[in-house]
Structure 1
Amino acid sequence: MKFYSTNNPAHIVSLQEAVIKGLAPDQGLYMPVTIPQLPASFFKRMPEMSFLEIGFEVISAIFSEDLSEAQIQDLVAHTLQFDAPLVQVEEDVFSLELFHGPTLAFKDFGARFCSKLMSLLLDGKKVKVLVATSGDTGSAVANGFYGIDGVDVVILYPSGKVSELQEKQFTTLGGNITALEVEGVFDDCQRMVKEAFLDADLQEKMLLTSANSINIARWIPQCLYYFYAVSRLPRNDKKVVFAVPSGNFGNLAAGILAQRMGLSIDMFVAATNTNKIVPDFLEGMPFMAKPSIQTISNSMDVGNPSNFYRLLALYGGDEALLKKNVTGCFYTDQATRESMLAVKKSTDYTMDPHGAVAYLGLKDFMSAYPDSYVGVFLETAHPGKFRQVVEETLGETLVLPDRLESFMKGEKKVSPMANDYAAFKKFLLSSI
């Protein structure tokens, strides 16, 4: 499979270059030159297939030109070591729980896939992985790459703008994981990472790559749980809609990738907090980056979502087709809290703030089309990762899983970093 840059379709590279470089030289995101179509026979068999079996066939369709069957089996087995159960919350409303991995967030799937694929492709080289995080990316990547030979990880995160538990998950490991606490917001962290990738002087001195969703190795495997979820939905004649809590929009783009491969999804809801750049675009406004706003659903506090250009690319640059298949909505912190409390009272189901935003988007969409859709909202993180918000909202004490409790006992190891690229570059060069 070859990959092209969203900024220049004539710039085409191999899988190895796309994964190891992460970002194209022109700052575009890599996309597959062709999107493979899965046969009808596969979709007929899906309900009887395991998550691993589904994952193997989907990944084979994309990567079989570059990886052996044994490598793909190893890659999928390493990635899908935990379930993504579909839980019925209300009639025709299901939660896709993506928090059963090591760090209890959906990004565990992509991070494990990325670390394994990168180790297969490095061919003895040493690489430095740069990651900007607004929360769960940092913890998933840190734990996914921890102890991987030949890989050093540097995580930049905004000081005071991630939950304590998220912070503990990527600042307590040490080893080949370094955490930089930046005086700024997520977009400042992302900007510095992108500047590093475009710095020719730095690129001459070290091999840099990313494990954010801008990297295809992080982004593509997220399509797998959409296939799995559809395979487990009750069989009926209703249309299927997925509501996706969206920040950098990689998760939504992965769902659209699954759709473009032939998966039967009729509509997507892009649900955001008050960082509503993409919902505004879907309503007819120009796409315009803005300073991010801090909310209780902090992983979605993104003012310049990188994967927006993947959304367009998946529909061949056709904005009208994108708007036909994706509807946008946004919600305040108050509305988010109200939905968390209402669902807990009526169904005894506990949502985290991000899942609650997606639930709101799903319910508002389905109310406009009564009895027409069966809906799935993505529950992207365990509620315990946002313990303070959830406990304040529900008025009850959460019992944390043992994995989360163990992170809380770790000692925080971080280096402060000014919101300044020159200081960041100096730090990177000091590690040579």
Structure 2
Amino acid sequence: MRFYSTKDRQNVVDLREAVLRSLPHDRGLYMPVSIPELAPDFWKSTPGKSLQDIALELASPYLEEDFSSSEIGAIIEQAVNFTAPVVEIEPGIHSLELWHGPSLAFKDFGARFMAAVMSRLVKDESRRLTILVATSGDTGGAVAAGFLGVENVEVIILYPSGKVSPLQEKQLTTLGQNIQAVEVEGTFDDCQALVKRAFLDSELNEKYMLSSANSINIARLIPQSFYYAGSYAQLDAPDDLVFCVPSGNFGNLTAGLIAHRMGLPVQKFIAATNVND
């Protein structure tokens, strides 16, 4: 699978470059050159299938040029090892529970998939991969849990002082091993700016192999499509499916749209946002 920069469609790279570099030099974002469409028969057959089985089908087109079938299976087994149940609230309205992973955040899906992919991409590298991530709380906890103990990978998490919950701060700061947390006097935006500045520093990138675990990385986005397909299966393939998605930077919503482009029958998406000044 090839990936292009949203700032320049001629800037095309392979999976390894898109995942490990994370951010193109032109400051765009990497997206698939084409989004694979799965056959209608696959979608009709999803009821009764496990989330792992569905995730394997969705992930394979993006990974099959770089990994064997057994490796892709191992990635999914490592990444999707918890459930995402659909619970009825009232007739016709359901809640998709995305808090059953180790950090209790939906970002466990992306972080664990990313860790599984990255660890295999760098297993023969002489240099360690350094993951830089800015967090306002839940991203850092998911990344810390997902990458804990992963060989040849070091994770540095920047978080704003006094702006994460006590539980979230413990998730970032108490694991040790290959996880380091840095408390920054400032806001989340300040943390994010420091991370982006690091990626655009050519000297720093020559000295260290840097990547990001924030939602700018395509390996965070692809696995978030899994639970949209999983919820469709749990609801027995309805023909009137509507997703209402709590939205911040629209990464979760984008993942839903990717699933839709892959053939998931969705009537519409509703982006639920707060009032922004």
Deviation at 1:30? 0.4
Distance 1:28 1:235, change over 3 A: closer
Matches within 5 A, 1:261-300: 261-275=262-276
Q: CA deviation at 1:246?
A: 1.5
Structure 1: 5+ residue runs without aligned partners?
277-432
Q: What is the deviation of 1:236?
A: 5.1
CA distance in 1, matches of 2:238, 2:53: 24
Aligned-pair CA distance for 1:137: 0.5
Q: Is contact 2:47–2:237 with CA below 8 Å preserved after alignment?
A: no
* Equivalent-residue separation in structure 2 for 1:204 and 1:92 (angstroms): 54
1:199 is matched with which residue? 201
Could you say which residue in structure 1 is the equivalent of 2:98?
98
Q: Deviations over 1:84-110 (max 9, x none)?
A: 000011221111001111111111111
Answer with 122-131 or 191-200: which moved more. 122-131
Deviation of 1:182 (Å): 1.2
1:282-330 per-position Cα deviation (integer Å, ceiling 9, x unaligned): xxxxxxxxxxxxxxxxxxxxxxxxxxxxxxxxxxxxxxxxxxxxxxxxx
SS in structure 2 at match of 1:31: strand
Whether the 8 Å CA contact 1:52–1:76 is kept in 2: the answer is yes
Structure 1 residues 1-23: Cα deviation after superposition (integer angstroms, max 9, x where no partner) = 00001111100011011111111
2: CA distance, partners of 1:94 / 1:166: 28
Asked if structure 2 preserves the Cα contact closer than 8 Å seen for 1:128 and 1:151, the reply is: yes
In 2: Cα distance, 1:146 partner to 1:115 partner: 9
1:49 matches 2:49: yes
Q: How does 1:179-328 map to 2 (within 5 A)?
A: 179-233=181-235, 239-275=240-276
Q: CA RMSD in A?
A: 1.3
Give 3-state SS (helix, strand or coil) of 1:70's partner. Answer: helix
Letter aligned with residue 38 of structure 2: L
Of Structure 1 and Structure 2, which has the larger fraction of its residues in helix?
A: 1
4+ residue runs over 3 A deviation: 234-237
For 1:244 and 1:168, the matched residues in 2 are separated by: 28
- Amino acid across the alignment from 1:264: P
Map 1:66-105 to 2 at 5 A.
Answer: 66-105=66-105
Kindly provide the amino acid, as one letter, of the partner of residue 97 in structure 1. Answer: E
Answer yes or no: is the 8 Å Cα contact 2:134–2:158 preserved in 1: yes
Aligned: 1:159 with 2:161? yes
State the alpha-carbon separation in 1 of the partners of residues 33 and 238 from structure 2. 35
Alignment partner, residue 143 of structure 2: 141
Please identify the structure whose Cα radius of gyration is greater: 1
Please give the alpha-carbon distance, in whole angstroms, between the structure 2 residues aligned to 1:275 and 1:132.
Answer: 21
- Conserved? CA contact 2:4–2:30, under 8 Å: yes
| Secondary structure, aligned partner of 1:82 | coil
Q: Could you list the per-position Cα deviations for residues 187-210 of structure 1 after superposition, in whole angstroms to 9, with x for gaps in the alignment?
A: 111111011000011111111000
**Does structure 2 retain, via aligned residues, the 8 Å contact 1:124–1:150?**
no
- Residue of structure 2 in register with 1:7 after alignment: 7
- Provide structure 2 residue ranges, at least 5 long, that are not aligned to the other structure: none
One-letter identity of the residue aligned with 1:241 = V
Alpha carbons of structure 1 residues 254 and 200: separation in structure 2 relative to 1, 3 Å: same
| Distance in structure 2 (CA, Å) of the matches to 1:272 and 1:151 | 35
Aligned-partner Cα distance in 2 for 1:190–1:272: 21
SS at match of 2:62: helix
Task: Measure, in 1, the Cα distance between the counterparts of 2:152 and 2:199.
Answer: 19
1:89-142 Cα offsets, whole Å, 9 max, x none, are 122111100111111111111111100100111143211100011111000001
What is the CA–CA distance in structure 2 between the aligned matches of 1:198 and 1:234, rounded to whole Å?
46
Partners of 1:85 and 1:96 within 8 A in 2: yes
Question: Is contact 1:128–1:207 with CA below 8 Å preserved after alignment?
Answer: yes
Q: How far, CA to CA, are the matches of 1:148 and 1:63 in structure 2?
A: 20
Which residue number in structure 1 is paired with residue 174 of structure 2? 172
> What is the alpha-carbon distance in structure 1 between the residues aligned to residue 250 and residue 66 of structure 2?
27
8 Å contact kept, 1:113–1:217: yes
Q: Tell me, in whole angstroms, the C-alpha distance in 1 between the residues paired with 2:167 and 2:247.
A: 21
For the residues of structure 2 that align with 1:48 and 1:235, how far apart are their CA atoms?
Answer: 10
Counterpart Cα distance in 1 of 2:205 and 2:68: 30
After TM superposition, give the deviation of residue 163 of structure 1 in Å.
1.3
- Using the alignment, how far apart are the partners of 1:275 and 1:98 within structure 2? 25
Shift of the 207–264 alpha-carbon distance from structure 1 to 2, 3 Å rule, reads same
Overall identity of the aligned pairs, in %:
56
CA distance in 2, matches of 1:245, 1:166: 20
SS in 1 for 2:272: strand
1:164 Cα offset (Å): 1.2
Partner of 2:152: 150
Residue type at the aligned position of 2:118: M
Q: Is the 8 A contact 2:22 2:212 kept in 1?
A: yes
Distance 1:132 1:236, change over 3 A: closer
| TM-score for the superposition, normalised by structure 2 | 0.96
State the secondary structure of the residue aligned to 1:77.
helix
Structure 1 range deviating more: 60-69 or 99-108: 60-69
Paired residue type of 1:28: G
